[in-house]
């Protein structure tokens, strides 16, 4: 993760949607033909587009009121217990049409792209009824079709127990398993399934039941694990052979060893720790030192992590998780791509891969994590197409 294979004075040839060659500038210049469009990046850093492998980008409304309550001392769990939190966003999302959700989603798509993200994993989970979950997944499909950002859809019907099922939770688990999962699979609306495994949300047994059923429908598995407490989510992810275990703020050494033995990739989300005003950052160093292919993502959502910026996550990874800038970039690109089953397609600049890349307004890759709170991209390309261009002064 610390070796970025940097090409100094490099160049890249793109043909159509794909990378045709990468190398020293002189080698690449010799391939220029009469109809080749030449883009002079100056001495800027060119990197693969960020792959944000954990987001919740389709929802209605926002929760600045809860942000204010937390600033005054309330905790995320207290707010959730009194009907706020995820259930508050569920209420507004149920009242929104698919068109409303797509309209809001396009605004966030723009935020992702201008921060250099070219692929996002996108979870449902703010509907929690058959029709509302389908509506969100269809909105994700529409966003994938109508915007340049690539969306990888994940079904998160097990994000919370909706208010109307609070006194009969097993009935909600059955609804997810017997009605939602078959429809999601039949309509091919998701590649992965996820569940929020946590003491106040889904128990490890319920998570096991739901995700085992999801696997039978051919979905890959991801788990919100050990976020607010050591609930056994990491160990469960290992038992289920999930693709990823996400959050892991409270995972202990046994959990880390279980992930390693089962080759489950940890997805670390320091933006949510930061935005919740907590200090419980996950043990990234122990995970990397154990040989795990750590991934970094934003967890973009209206409650715990209202941040679409991967450069901000790189900054938090270096300052709070003690990852080096190089490790953070590997975690935000190639490792993330593999966690989404797309390691041979995106996540690095190699011949034959999709031409998803970003020219950053920086001359050293470490600047992306170092200057924080700014937008670094100068030009963003998806499949060889220019999709964002910064105006104004640059280096
Ligand atoms: O990953 N933990 C569960 N889901 C989100 C929070 C969603 C919300 O608060 O709306 C997360 O942090
Ligand atoms: Fe999340």
Atom index in ligand 1 nearest the CA of residue 63 equals 10
Q: Which ligand is nearest to the CA of 154?
A: 2
pLDDT tens figures, 272-306: 999 999 999 999 999 999 999 999 999 999 999 99
Q: Tens of pLDDT along 29-39?
A: 999 999 999 99
Q: Is the CB of 89 under 6 A from ligand 1?
A: yes
- Averaged pLDDT of the chain: 97
pLDDT tens for 325-376 read 999 999 999 999 999 999 999 999 999 999 999 999 999 999 999 999 999 9
Length of the chain: 395
- Helix/strand/coil for 343: coil
CA–CA separation, 250 and 184 (whole Å): 31
Q: Which ligand is nearest the CA of 66, by number?
A: 1
Q: Global pTM?
A: 0.98
pLDDT band at 69 (very low <50, low <70, confident <90, very high): very high
Instruction: Give, in order, the Cα–Cα distances in Å from 183 to each of 140, 214, 275.
Output: 16, 11, 35
Coarse DSSP helix, strand, coil percentages of the chain, rounded to the nearest 5 percent: 40, 20, 40
Among 159, 162, 198, 296, residue to substitute to test ligand 1 (most atoms within 8 Å of Cβ): 159
Tell me which H or E stretch contains 120: strand 117-123
Average pLDDT over residues 115-120: 99
392 pLDDT band, cuts 50/70/90, is confident
User: Relative to the CA of 59, which ligand 1 atom is closest?
Assistant: 10
The response to whether residue 303 sits with its C-beta less than 6 Å from ligand 1 reads yes
Q: Which ligand has the nearest atom to the CA of 61?
A: 1
DSSP letters spanning 14-45? EETTEEEEEEEHHHHHTT--TTPPP---TT-E
């Amino acid at each position: 993760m610390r070796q970025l294979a940097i090409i100094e004075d490099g160049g890249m040839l793109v043909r159509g949607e794909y990378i045709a060659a990468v190398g020293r500038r002189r080698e690449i210049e010799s391939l220029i033909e009469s109809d080749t469009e030449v883009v002079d990046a100056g001495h800027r850093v060119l990197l693969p587009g960020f792959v944000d492998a954990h987001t919740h980008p389709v929802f209605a409304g926002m929760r600045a009121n809860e942000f204010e309550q937390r600033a005054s001392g309330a905790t995320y769990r207290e707010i959730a217990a009194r009907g706020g939190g995820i259930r508050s966003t569920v209420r507004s999302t149920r009242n929104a049409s698919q068109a409303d959700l797509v309209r809001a989603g396009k605004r966030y798509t723009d935020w992702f792209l201008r921060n250099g993200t070219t692929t996002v994993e996108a979870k449902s989970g703010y509907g929690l009824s058959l029709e509302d979950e389908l509506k969100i997944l269809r909105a994700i499909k529409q966003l994938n079709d109508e915007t340049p950002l690539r969306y990888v859809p994940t079904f998160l019907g097990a994000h919370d127990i909706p208010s109307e099922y609070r006194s009969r939770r097993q009935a909600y688990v059955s609804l997810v398993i017997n009605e939602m999962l078959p429809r999601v699979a039949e309509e091919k609306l998701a590649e992965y399934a996820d569940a929020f495994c946590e003491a106040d949300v889904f128990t490890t047994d319920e998570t096991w039941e739901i995700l085992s059923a999801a696997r039978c429908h051919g979905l890959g598995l991801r788990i919100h694990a050990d976020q607010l407490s050591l609930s056994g989510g990491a160990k469960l992810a290992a038992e289920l052979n999930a693709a990823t275990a996400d959050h892991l703020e409270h995972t202990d050494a046994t959990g880390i060893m279980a992930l390693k033995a089962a080759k489950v990739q940890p997805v670390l989300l320091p933006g949510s720790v930061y935005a919740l005003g907590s200090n419980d950052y996950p043990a990234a160093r122990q995970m990397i030192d154990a040989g795990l292919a750590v991934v970094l993502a934003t967890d973009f959502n209206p409650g715990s992590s209202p941040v679409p910026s991967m450069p901000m996550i790189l900054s938090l990874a270096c300052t709070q998780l003690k990852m080096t800038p190089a490790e953070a970039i590997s975690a935000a690109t190639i490792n993330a791509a593999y966690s989404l089953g797309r390691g041979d397609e995106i996540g690095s600049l190699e011949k034959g891969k999709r031409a998803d890349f970003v020219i950053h307004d920086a001359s050293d890759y470490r600047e992306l994590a170092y200057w924080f709170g700014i937008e670094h991209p100068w030009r963003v390309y998806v499949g060889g197409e220019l999709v964002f261009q910064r105006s104004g002064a640059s280096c």
